[in-house]
Structure 1
Amino acid sequence: MNHTLQLFLLLSALAAAQGACPNGFHIVGNQCYRFSQEYSDTKTWEQARTFCQFLDSDLAVLDLDCNDNNHLISYIISKGYTNIWVGASDTAMEGFWKWVDNRVVDMTSTLWFYNEPDNPSSNDCARFVRASGDFPRVYLYDHPCSQSLNYICQTGIHSKQ
């Protein structure tokens, strides 16, 4: 196969993948995400979740076994995004963190910042915070759900029983 044809097929596949996401969403890894920073839009955790659901999506969920986490975190770091709602909370039962798809949040995950969650009574929702430095990382922190922050919507989130 000649190089022109290979390039055409590669660009066609890329365009098809990009077209697979709804308007306003970007493909990152194998998932479609909408980043509110692009629209200067902040909401409380519940408002953000309601808005994501209106867009036939939900607040973003993470799975340590999924390579998409690395893509998402790399994207967030490359854009300099921080203070972002994601789809985890312990609002249903204090101290029992669940993703919006009803999976239990791994409390031993290296995604949690040291000693997080650290406020068991008033910080019931999870946010991503970008830590700067020589090796930038993104960590989960607990935070008051009533504060307005940026947020990430993700398509294809379905409740698991």
Structure 2
Amino acid sequence: MSKRARETDEEKGQGASKRHVDMRNQEDDAERETPADAGSRRTCRLVAVVVATTVLVIGLSLCLVLYAAPEVDQTSKTSEMQLKERLQQCQKEHRDLSLMLRTVAQDSRCRLCPDGWLWWRSRCYFFSVGLQEDRQWNESAEFCRKHNSSLAVIKDSAEMEFIQGVMREFPQFPFLWVGLTDTEQEGQWLWWDGTDIQHYMQLTVEWDADHRDCADLRGGGSLFAASCEAYGPWACQRDS
């Protein structure tokens, strides 16, 4: 077992209680889902999206009221009391809609991501630490495939920072497998979606060598080449 795998094994289990989930139950639930359940889920998600959009519109309206208030007062001589009443009404509507959104989101049928997955910017992410045993790169990729996802493809600095933030919360994994490999042609690193490593961001892979064909992500947004046979944690990614 490699040094990187042993370091992870020694620290495994710390923080696991924060995100414990039974993935087998999740798979069983998915198999038992009926067309009616799927339709209900889609409808509920649609409602959540509509409510969320409305909340954003109301929030924008509040901003317009705040910024436009002085101008309105100058042009139409609207009293300060009337402006305050309008603002209070908008704030009340915003609170009501926010409460409605939270209520809808609590329905299990409305979850944007499966249990154990994190939602961020219209995508769902699964981080294996504390939930699954470490796996080789190919095994990690297969796990993601079985859950309708892929190993993470990092497309911009915001996504990189999101993933790095999760890694900082769980210091027991200083690295994790991502969807980057040069198995097809040595030295040509490709993301899981077939794009070149620098297609989305200016990134490079350190420690590249003939026997290191899979990449892991470490602190500071750095990528390192490693043996695909080594064991480690990983990150899956899918659309919500």
TM-score category (smaller protein): 0.7 to 0.9
Pick 1 or 2: higher relative contact order, CA cutoff 8 A, min separation 6.
Answer: 1
Length, aligned pairs only: 145
Choose from 84, 105, 115 the match for 2:197. 105
> Shift in Å at residue 106 of structure 1?
1.3
Unaligned runs of 5+ in 1: 131-136, 157-161
Choose from 213, 216, 222 the match for 1:127. 216
Which deviates further from its counterpart, 102-111 or 76-85? 102-111
1:13–1:30 Cα change, 3 Å? farther
> Shift in Å at residue 118 of structure 1?
2.2
- In structure 1, give the amino acid aligned to 2:217: F
Give yes or no for the alignment of 1:141 onto 2:224: yes
Give yes or no for the alignment of 1:69 onto 2:69: no
- In structure 2, give the amino acid aligned to 1:143: A
Bigger-Rg structure (1/2): 2
Choose from 87, 93, 99 the match for 2:185. 93
| SS in structure 1 of the partner of residue 206 of structure 2 | coil
Aligned position for 1:31: 123
RMSD: 2.6
Give yes or no for the alignment of 1:5 onto 2:102: no
Q: Comparing both structures, which one devotes a greater share of its residues to strand?
A: 1
Unaligned runs of 5+ in 2: 1-89
> Shift in Å at residue 110 of structure 1?
5.8
TM-score (norm 2): 0.53
Q: Percent identity?
A: 23
> Shift in Å at residue 51 of structure 1?
1.1
> Shift in Å at residue 117 of structure 1?
2.8
Q: Comparing both structures, which one devotes a greater share of its residues to helix?
A: 2
Q: Distance in 2 between matches of 1:151 and 1:46?
A: 11
**Contact 2:151/2:178 (<8 A) preserved:** yes
Q: Distance in 1 between matches of 2:200 and 2:100?
A: 43
| SS in structure 2 of the partner of residue 37 of structure 1 | coil
Which deviates further from its counterpart, 32-41 or 82-91? 32-41
Per-residue CA deviation, residues 13-68 of structure 1 (Å, 9 max, x unaligned), is: 7658x81112331113432111110314210000100111011111011112x633
